């Protein structure tokens, strides 16, 4: 919407400057148009990020981290952005952090991140998250694995190998055979 306003700035200025339209009170001065430009700059990163694909659970935390980084940089940029924009970025960052903190109350985010092939625990290490938080996340995943899959008695190795499936050589700390699929090294999440 703001990009549209910038594109049609001259038409909007003429329309709001005309006293007969009753829109005079909405007329923007040069400084306000500069703020509109800055807002477009601030919001374009988030818009582009979410326009690239379908967000899913493991991408929520990285998306929030990316937006947080952008808002932090923009709230500190005294050269490029007006004070009002920097203040808005700071307030947006506070709102984002309020939602971010809610992800800590759900084990699902942690589990999804650790199981995602791109992120795993390394994502949190790379972002310099607290070691206690990382260890807790790993413990949550291990507990969920034990609770959900530990009681299953599905070691059908004979059935799997007779069907032509060969899990191959190598060490295996946890070996579960289920419908011919081998889950090897299931406790290696990093």
Chain length of the chain: 190
Least confident of 2-6, 72-76, 82-86, 177-181: 177-181
Domain boundaries, the chain: 154-190
Give the model confidence (pLDDT) of 56-107 as tens digits.
888 888 888 988 998 899 899 999 888 998 999 999 999 999 988 898 888 9
Angle at 125 between CA 124 and CA 131, to 5 degrees: 90
Pairing mode, strands 176-178 and 181-183: antiparallel
CA distance 169 to 24: 78
The two tokens of residue 104 are 């800590």
CA distance 67 to 76: 14
Whether pTM exceeds 0.85: no
Q: What is the DSSP letter of 103?
A: G
Q: How far is CA 170 from CA 22, 113, 138, 160, in A?
A: 78, 27, 24, 17
């Amino acid at each position: 919407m703001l990009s549209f306003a910038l594109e049609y700035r001259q038409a909007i200025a003429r329309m709001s400057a005309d006293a007969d339209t009753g829109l005079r009170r909405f007329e923007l001065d040069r400084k306000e148009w500069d703020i509109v430009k800055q807002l477009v700059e601030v919001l374009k990163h988030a818009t582009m990020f979410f326009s690239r694909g379908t967000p899913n659970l493991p991408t929520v935390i990285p998306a929030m981290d990316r937006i947080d980084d952008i808002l932090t940089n923009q709230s500190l940029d005294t050269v490029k952005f007006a004070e009002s924009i920097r203040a808005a970025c700071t307030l947006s960052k506070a709102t984002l952090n309020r939602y971010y903190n809610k992800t800590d109350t759900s084990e699902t985010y942690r589990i999804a991140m650790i199981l995602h092939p791109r992120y795993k625990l390394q994502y949190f290490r790379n972002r310099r998250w607290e070691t206690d938080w990382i260890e807790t996340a790993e413990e949550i995943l291990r507990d969920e694995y034990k609770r959900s899959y530990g009681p299953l008695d599905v070691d059908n190795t004979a059935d799997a190998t007779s069907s032509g499936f060969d899990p191959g050589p190598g060490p295996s700390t946890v070996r579960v055979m289920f419908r011919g699929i081998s889950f090897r090294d299931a406790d290696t999440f990093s």
